[in-house]
């Protein structure tokens, strides 16, 4: 394949030509931090989106699903608030989501039905629409195309996140053309796949046919955001939105066989994997980033199922928090994951240290294990010994701070 991906250092969602952004405070966060973000394209965009599978879909999710279906090639941007999720809010919530979208369209001078909305925060509370209206006005006035404006937007969508999550990259095709991709995400708790378990907005200037934008986003999300779990809770508000304004000087991406499509999909996947890892690294209360690979499986699905079982085990996650090489809990979680396996064929590594060979304990070097567990990034590899498939998922440990953060989230 002949393309190259170049990371843009300190990039933001406005690293893509033709996009403006802003993040302002409107009073939803008690701290007074920015809590309302706008991302707007100078021209209409091809849009693709992936939404939560939770049956209690938040009002903005319901609104966006309809909007993307109705207007997949004319979207201009998205308004996002943090602090109130507008989920489980009934018909009043649906009206508020539609009103927030309309306000954002008016304030930015965009066409009707061209703005999406996202909300994150406490479930079951109504949006204070006076604050939202003022915030949308202020954000529209603050819109900027510089990188710093994108950083402000990424900060405004944070809830319990301790830092913004943003990445951008250039994709260079070998015919000399190319395009730029950028994304920002929030997510720290209530993180579990299906889908994206978070809010994520992606911008791109490649011209892409809607069906291919959707296909590439779906595939890239499955390989990235859907491989992260923090606490096993799938949120009501998860949304990943991709806006392609087509401003790059290059041919339209309209066939899945085009090299430009493969480059687009690869760039999108790379970007989303980076955002996914950032989310795991910033999991609520996290002290460790944990990468779990299950290999030697009969299928990728089985590998993912086993890896997710380990990644969601409270006992594995507390042991890693306690720097305790309690590997029996890892095998235990594989054993109840629901896949079939032969226990006598399973091997296990913590970092470069083999702990189990063919289902039996293998020479546990406690000193080396402790050294490995003192590192900030922990790698666990389980080999099932009966196939060629593998999957990798990302998570964080389960700490006292996770409990503190979530015991008093609403109060």
Active site residues: 197
* Residue 321 binding its own copies, by CB under 8 A: yes
Candidates 151, 192, 277, 281: give the one binding its own copies (CB under 8 A): 192
Question: Where do the H-state alpha helices sit in 89-231?
Answer: 90-108, 129-142, 147-156, 210-222
Q: Which stretch binds its own copies (CB under 8 A): 34-42, 81-89, 138-146, 162-170?
A: 81-89
Query: Helix crossing, 90-108 with 129-142: angle to 10°?
Result: 20
Q: Please report whether residue 194 would count as binding its own copies according to CB under 8 A.
A: yes
400 near its own copies, rule: CB under 8 A: yes
112 binds its own copies (CB under 8 A): no
Half-sphere exposure of 371 (CA within 13 A, CB side): 8
Per rule CB under 8 A, is residue 333 in the interface with its own copies?
yes
Q: Is 183 helix (H, G, I), strand (E, B) or coil?
A: strand
CA distances from 156 to 165, 329, 337 (A): 11, 38, 38
Task: Specify which residues 395 forms β-bridges with.
Answer: 290
Mention every residue, 6+ apart, whose C-beta is less than 8 A from residue 367: none
Per CB under 8 A, the list member of 9, 340, 367, 376 interacting with its own copies is 340
**Residue 314 sits in the site that holds its own copies (CB under 8 A):** yes
| Span interacting with its own copies, options 30-38, 178-186, 257-265, 332-340, rule CB under 8 A | 332-340
How far apart are CB 283 and its own copies at their closest, in Å? 11
Contact 404, 316 (CB under 8 A): no
Among residues 138, 149, 142, 73, which one has the least CA distance to residue 111?
73
**Residues 81/59, Cβ–Cβ less than 8 Å:** no
Dihedral of CA 67/72/76/77: which sign? positive
Nearer to its own copies, 158 or 190 (CB): 190
Q: Does 328 bind its own copies (CB under 8 A)?
A: yes
Is 152 a binder of its own copies (CB under 8 A)?
Answer: no
- When asked if residue 312 is in the footprint of its own copies (CB under 8 A), the reply is yes
**Is there binding between residue 95 and its own copies (CB under 8 A)?**
no
> What is the closest distance, in whole angstroms, from the C-beta atom of residue 72 to its own copies in the complex?
26
Q: Which of 75, 139, 356, 391 is in the footprint of its own copies by CB under 8 A? A: 356
Among 61, 123, 248, 303, binds its own copies (CB under 8 A): 123
Sheet hosting strand 289-297, strand order edge to edge: 360-361, 353-357, 347-350, 377-383, 289-297, 389-396
What is the footprint of its own copies within residues 224-243 (CB under 8 A)? 231-236
CA distance 108 to 290: 42
Selected from 24, 139, 273, 341, the binder of its own copies by CB under 8 A is: 341
Instruction: Check binding of 69 to its own copies (CB under 8 A).
Output: no
State in angstroms the smallest separation of the CB of 164 from its own copies: 23
Cα–Cα dist 80/116, whole Å: 8
User: Would you give the binding string for its own copies spanning residues 26-65, x where CB under 8 A is met?
Assistant: ---------------------------xxxxx--------
The Cα 199–Cα 273 span in angstroms is 14
User: Least distance (Å) from its own copies to the CB of residue 274?
Assistant: 26
Query: How far apart are the C-alpha atoms of 243 and 14, rounded to whole Å?
Result: 12
Q: Is 334 in the site for its own copies (CB under 8 A)?
A: yes
Which one of 324, 354, 368, 379 is in contact with its own copies (CB under 8 A)? Answer: 324
Strand partners, 240: 50, 200
CB 392 within 8 A of CB 227: yes
Cβ proximity to its own copies: between 173 and 369 the closer is 369
Task: For the segment 361-380, give every residue that binds its own copies (CB under 8 A).
Answer: 361, 364
Is residue 49 within 8 Å of 61, Cβ to Cβ? no
Residues in the interface with its own copies (CB under 8 A) total 66
Torsion angle of the four alpha carbons 118, 119, 124, 126, in this order, in degrees rounded to the nearest 10: -90
Judged by the rule CB under 8 A, the positions of this chain that interact with its own copies are: 53-57, 85, 87-92, 122-125, 189-190, 192, 194, 231-236, 312-315, 318-319, 321-322, 324-329, 331-336, 340-341, 343, 356, 359-361, 364, 398-400, 402-404, 406-411
């Amino acid at each position: 394949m002949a393309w190259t991906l170049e990371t843009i250092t300190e990039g933001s969602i406005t690293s893509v030509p033709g996009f403006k952004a802003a993040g302002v405070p409107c009073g939803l966060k008690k701290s007074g931090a920015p809590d309302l973000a706008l991302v707007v394209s100078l021209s209409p965009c091809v849009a693709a989106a992936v939404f939560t599978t939770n049956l209690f879909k938040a009002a903005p999710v319901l609104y966006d699903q309809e909007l993307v279906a109705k207007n997949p090639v004319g979207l201009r941007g998205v308004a996002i608030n943090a602090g109130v999720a507008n989920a489980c809010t009934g018909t009043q919530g649906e009206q508020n989501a539609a009103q927030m979208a309309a306000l954002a369209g008016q304030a930015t001078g965009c066409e009707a039905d061209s703005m999406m909305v996202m909300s994150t925060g406490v479930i079951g509370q109504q949006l204070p629409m006076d604050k939202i209206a003022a915030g949308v006005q202020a954000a529209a006035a603050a819109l900027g195309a510089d990188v710093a404006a994108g950083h402000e937007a990424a900060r405004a969508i944070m809830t319990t996140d301790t830092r913004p999550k943003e990445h951008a990259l250039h994709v260079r095709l070998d015919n000399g053309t190319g395009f730029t991709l950028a994304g920002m995400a929030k997510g720290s708790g209530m993180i579990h796949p299906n889908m994206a378990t978070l809010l994520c907005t992606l911008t791109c200037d490649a011209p892409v046919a809607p069906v291919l934008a959707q296909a590439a986003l779906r595939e890239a999300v499955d390989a990235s955001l859907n491989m992260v779990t923090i606490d096993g809770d799938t949120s009501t508000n998860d949304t990943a939105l991709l806006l392609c304004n087509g401003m790059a000087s290059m041919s339209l991406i309209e066939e899945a066989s085009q090299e430009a499509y493969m480059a687009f999909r690869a760039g999108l996947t790379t970007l989303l994997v980076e955002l996914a890892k950032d989310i795991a690294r910033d999991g609520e209360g996290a002290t460790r980033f944990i990468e779990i690979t299950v290999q030697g499986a009969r299928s990728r699905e089985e590998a993912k199922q086993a890896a997710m079982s380990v990644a969601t085990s409270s006992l594995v996650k507390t042991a890693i928090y306690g720097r305790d090489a309690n590997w029996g809990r890892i095998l235990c979680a594989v054993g109840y994951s629901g896949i079939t396996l032969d226990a006598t064929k399973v091997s296990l590594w913590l970092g470069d240290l083999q702990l189990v060979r063919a289902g039996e304990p293998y020479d546990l070097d406690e000193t080396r294990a402790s050294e490995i567990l003192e590192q900030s990034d922990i790698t666990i590899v389980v080999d099932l010994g009966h196939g060629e498939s593998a999957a990798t998922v990302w998570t964080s440990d389960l700490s006292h701070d996770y409990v503190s953060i979530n015991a008093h989230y609403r109060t």
